[in-house]
Chains A and B, each alone.
Chain A
């Protein structure tokens, strides 16, 4: 049987389809002042906010969920779901009082039962959660009323308040998860945050809708779409073409270009992330003179100017300016002459250089490989011949575990809390997998500080440790890292010291 389509109908259909497809596509701005689209470099790993410690995902989690405590833009701890808290002098317990006006997006009231479930019951049930690690000192959470509870620890937990506002610490709904199951929660997550998750497409987009029952200040923009754009060039193109209203982590040179365009605001913001050289205590770096010479030979200000437009602050300790562990009056100076002198004491010179291995990632953080190449050139000038090799970030831990990292490795470390335990405490802890520096002297100093409950004593201890570690060449802090932001000039946000760009702070003018 022959089936004849009328030629005119076919042509009309083709013309119609072509016209539709070639019609102007809706840009981000078309949605008006009640909506915004943000180009974001990474997706969330899961909608269980307790599950994975992923720094990039925290601003998205903070839109949908709430943390017990929060940080202000200067990173000072402030009340949030917890109204008041009191850490016992011995660090073995912490009494908390929760707000009584908080509801989850499904209407359920948030109480201490949810708090206990999140930070104790889920972990004890054996669920594979990253917060099991940060909450491992929690022995129990004793509920006194729907708003009052006491956290009990098996050993002093002086940084528990900081952890209440850090990675993975988001209160999840006990009844909703227990009655509907975890899979249901992962598909339809329910939090107490300023936005509800309206739509999610893996590796593509996250659509957030303002939660009108939110206990805190209402978000100015009703609908925020997080468009996942992993490629930095594509993010540049997306903001340039108007397909997104705002984006982060674009190359520094592009920020400088956007800054000239009156339609855009472009910023390079220093954040609580340090770029450092992790070093070994053996091989060619067994010689303290060589380590110190390597550090004195690096012109950090030149690196900042060349690769971060001068916005990355040169560092002398493993802490960023404004955080408790930072030491204002301590500078490890750039002094190539002193570097040469130290090397000469150990029998090395530019004609007889000391040979070391040097590892760096390429693309793990902005300009990492370029920084490494510049350091190799600086070292060459004083008599250090570095063999630069590129490693994948994923290989770092395996190489370190097997003692296969070279003398120096370029590394980046993020610490949104700014607390020194999570800077030098973690980086120099011989029991943790980060630093290749394995040394009893510094190791014991670090481990001793983990049990100090008194805040002032603890901070003073870390400041001493940081200076001591740098003066002995156990670590080489380089720069305070930066986050780049490009946005339409009419879209503003609240700038945080740790680089967060929170959807709830976005606002059109």
Chain B
């Protein structure tokens, strides 16, 4: 099984190379087609038109697009994604500084979305045919219709302002230090033995993670319920009943295993979307991740930074898909035989 999974991941990674090239080229062309002037944005407001023109030449913006892309690609292959116009720092280093916070947030949100999704899906299934089914159905549709940024605002006002139960700005409370070892605050705080920082970081993570988790769980919930419906029409479920197994054992021991496969695939897709969904939530909660950085980059027409962040999102999505596919192989024996 390990060999099959390794082969699959290797194949996926090889396939990722042309995908990344295409995405980077598309991103490059689209960004250059925007009616913004990176040269003007990179100069102070009192720069003259002549100085802006000189800057355009200096930045290579007067060259043909394919040549500009070739220069960028050569740099990117050497780890140089260009200097951010706004921050005057390497775009790669800015992404590296903010990516861990986004990963921590996305993982926490995905765990929550998974727990809520699977729990809710099982509950919806168990309520089938009961008087509560339409109520549960309506609740799941309601959850489905609220986007993550709205959850973020609702939770912020309920738990942050009205109840004052949880913090909602930044990553850790003012007055507490920010240890820097791996870049992942939860890990670093434990590595330096600062449990108070760890607790504060967890408190600050709760609201943004729940906002994202709540927004992405209903789809998982509904797909799991549909899959369970399908599975319950299979013969082996009837046979299990004939063998005298309890409904609980049938659900957990037989039906859920099979219904989990399509749900897992969907969860993988959801995780990719969730990763991009961190953008607005990070801004609302002042969470110092990559989404927050992206807002700055877009606001300032910081093309090198937008390009670097866009590409990072693409890599993240490809990696997530590879991991989900390998899970799929682990869970589905048929794929291993092939």
Interface on A for B, CB 8 Å cutoff?
20-23, 25-28, 31, 35, 37, 39, 43, 45-46, 48, 51-53, 128, 130, 133-134, 167-168, 186, 199, 201-205, 207, 223, 225, 227-231, 233-234, 237-238, 240-244, 392-395, 397-399, 401-402, 404, 422, 426, 431-434
Known: A203-B98, A230-B283, A237-B157. A398 touches B288 (CB 8 A): no
**A66 CA / B157 CA spacing, docked (Å):** 39
Bound form: Cα–Cα A204–B199 in Å:
18
CB contact between B45 and one of A26, A229, A431, A434 (< 8 Å): that residue = A434
**B174, A234: Cβ atoms under 8 Å?**
no
Q: Kindly list chain B residues whose C-beta atoms are within 8 Å of the C-beta of A231.
A: 283-284, 286
Of all chain A residues, the one with the shortest Cβ separation from B45 is A53
In contact, B199 and A23 (Cβ under 8 angstroms): yes
| The residue from B86, B166, B173, B295 contacting A26, defined by CB atoms under 8 A apart | B173
Q: Which residues of the other chain, B, contact A401 by a CB distance below 8 angstroms? A: 37, 40, 49, 52
A-B contact pairs, 8 of them (CB 8 A): A46-B87, A202-B288, A202-B293, A204-B286, A229-B286, A237-B160, A241-B168, A242-B164
Q: Which residues from chain A contact B80 at a C-beta distance below 8 Å?
A: none
Chain A neighbourhood of B34, CB < 8 A: 395
Indicate whether A398 sits within 8 Å of B171 (C-beta atoms), given known contacts A134-B44, A203-B98: no
Return chain B residues, CB-CB under 8 Å to A228: 170, 286, 288
CA distance A27 to B52 in the complex (A): 47
User: With a CB–CB cut-off of 8 A, which chain A residues contact B173?
Assistant: 25-26
Q: Does the CB pair A204–B171 fall under 8 Å?
A: yes
Contact of B46 among A26, A39, A426 (CB under 8 A): A426
List B residues at the A interface (Cβ < 8 Å). Answer: 34-37, 40-41, 43-52, 86-89, 94, 97-98, 153, 156-157, 160-161, 164-171, 173-175, 177-178, 195, 199-200, 202-203, 206, 283-288, 292-293, 295-296, 299-301
Q: In the assembled complex, how far is the CB of residue B266 from the closest CB belonging to chain A, in whole angstroms?
A: 29
Assess the A432–B49 pair: CB atoms within 8 A: yes
CA distance A393 to B16 in the complex (A): 36
A202 touches B97 (CB 8 A): yes
In terms of DSSP, what is the predominant structure of the interface of chain B?
loop
Q: Give the complex CA separation of A199 and B170 in angstroms.
A: 14
| CB <8 Å contact, A234 and B46 | no
Q: Which residues of B contact A223 (CB under 8 A)?
A: 175
Choose from B43, B47, B49, B161 the contact partner of A237 (Cβ within 8 Å): B161
Give 17 new A-B contacts, CB below 8 A, not counting A243-B168, A422-B46: A25-B166, A25-B200, A37-B174, A201-B288, A202-B97, A202-B98, A203-B286, A207-B174, A230-B292, A230-B295, A237-B160, A393-B299, A397-B41, A401-B37, A401-B40, A432-B48, A433-B47
In the complex, what distance in Å separates the CA atom of A53 from the CA atom of B51?
Answer: 16
Q: Which residues of A contact B168 (CB under 8 A)?
A: 234, 237-238, 241, 243
B44 A168 Cβ-Cβ under 8 A: yes
Q: In the complex, what's the smallest C-beta–C-beta distance from B111 to chain A, in angstroms? A: 15
> Contact at B37–A398, with CB atoms within 8 Å?
yes
Alpha-carbon gap, A264 to B195, bound state (A): 34
Asked if A395 contacts B44 (CB within 8 A), the reply is: no
Question: Chain B: which residue is nearest A26 at the CB level?
Answer: B173
Report how far A233 CA is from B149 CA in the complex, Å. Answer: 12
B43 touches A431 (CB 8 A): no
Which of the listed residues B52, B89, B161 has the most CB atoms from chain A within 10 Å of its own CB?
B161
Q: Is the CB of B44 within 8 A of A130?
A: yes
Q: Are A128 and B40 touching (Cβ within 8 A)?
A: no
A168 to B44: give the CA distance in the assembly, Å: 10
| Cα distance, A241 to B167, chains bound together (Å) | 9
* Bound-complex Cα distance A207 to B177 (A): 10
B292 near A203: Cβ-Cβ < 8 Å? yes
**Is the CB–CB distance between A394 and B301 below 8 Å?**
yes
Contact call B88/A45, Cβ cutoff below 8 A: yes
A-B pairs with CB below 8 Å: how many?
169
In the bound complex, CA of A374 to CA of B66 (Å)? 45
Residues of B within 8 A of A35 (CB): 174-175
Q: Quick one: which of A27, A393, A431 contacts B48, CB cutoff 8 A?
A: A431
A16 to chain B, nearest CB (A): 10
Given the complex of chains A and B, what is the CA–CA distance between A167 and B46 in angstroms? 11
Given A53-B44, A203-B98, does the pair A45, B86 have CB atoms closer than 8 Å?
yes
Contact check, A240 vs B161: say whether CB atoms are below 8 A apart.
yes
A225 to chain B, nearest CB (A): 4
Closest chain-B Cβ to A147's Cβ sits at a distance in Å of 29
Nearest-Cβ distance from residue A47 to partner chain B, whole angstroms:
10
Q: How far is the CB of A472 from chain B (nearest CB, A)?
A: 23
B174, B200, B296: the one within 8 Å of A28 (CB): B174
Q: Which of A25, A426, A434 contacts B203 (CB 8 A)?
A: A25
A134–B51 Cα distance when bound, in Å, is 13
Which of B37, B168, B177 counts the most chain A CB atoms within 10 A?
Answer: B37
Q: Which residue of A lies closest to B42 (CB)?
A: A128
Contact between chains at B169 and A243 (CB < 8 Å): yes
Bound-state CA distance A53–B229 (Å) is 61
Rounded to whole angstroms, the CA-CA distance of A401 and B161 in the bound complex is 46
Residues of chain B lying within 8 A (CB to CB) of residue A45: 86-88
A170 shortest CB reach to chain B, Å: 14
CB distance from A121 to the nearest CB of B (A): 19
The closest CB in chain A to the CB of B293 belongs to A203
Query: Which residues on the A side are within 8 Å of B153 (C-beta)?
Result: 233
Most A CB contacts (10 A, CB to CB) among B173, B177, B300, B301 go to: B173
Cα A15 to Cα B212 in complex, Å, equals 25
CA distance A474 to B208 in the complex (A): 49
Least Cβ–Cβ distance between A61 and chain B, in angstroms: 15
Decide if A25 touches B169 in the complex (CB within 8 Å): no
Closest to B101 in A: A204
Residue from B52, B166, B169, B203 having most chain A Cβ neighbours under 10 A: B169
Contacts of B94 in A (CB 8 A): 202
Question: Across the interface, which residues of B come within 8 angstroms of A238, CB to CB?
Answer: 168-169
* B165 CB contacts on chain A under 8 angstroms: 22
Across the interface, name the chain A residue whose C-beta is closest to B291: A203
Q: B49 near A204 (CB under 8 angstroms)? A: no
Structural contact, B288 and A199, CB atoms closer than 8 A: no
Known contacts A25-B200, A230-B283, A225 near B174 by CB under 8 Å: yes
Q: Across the interface, name the chain B residue whose C-beta is closest to A39.
A: B169
Residues of A within 8 A of B46 (CB): 133-134, 422, 426, 432
Min Cβ gap B99→A in Å is 12
Chain A residues closer than 8 Å to B97, beta-carbon distance: 202
Q: Among B94, B286, B288, find the residue whose CB has the most chain A CB atoms closer than 10 A.
A: B286
In whole angstroms, how far apart are the Cα atoms of A426 and B45 in the complex? Answer: 9
A52 CA to B44 CA, complexed, in Å: 7
A27–B299 Cα distance when bound, in Å, is 31
For B203, the chain A residues whose CB sits under 8 A away are: 21, 25
CA distance A351 to B232 in the complex (A): 71
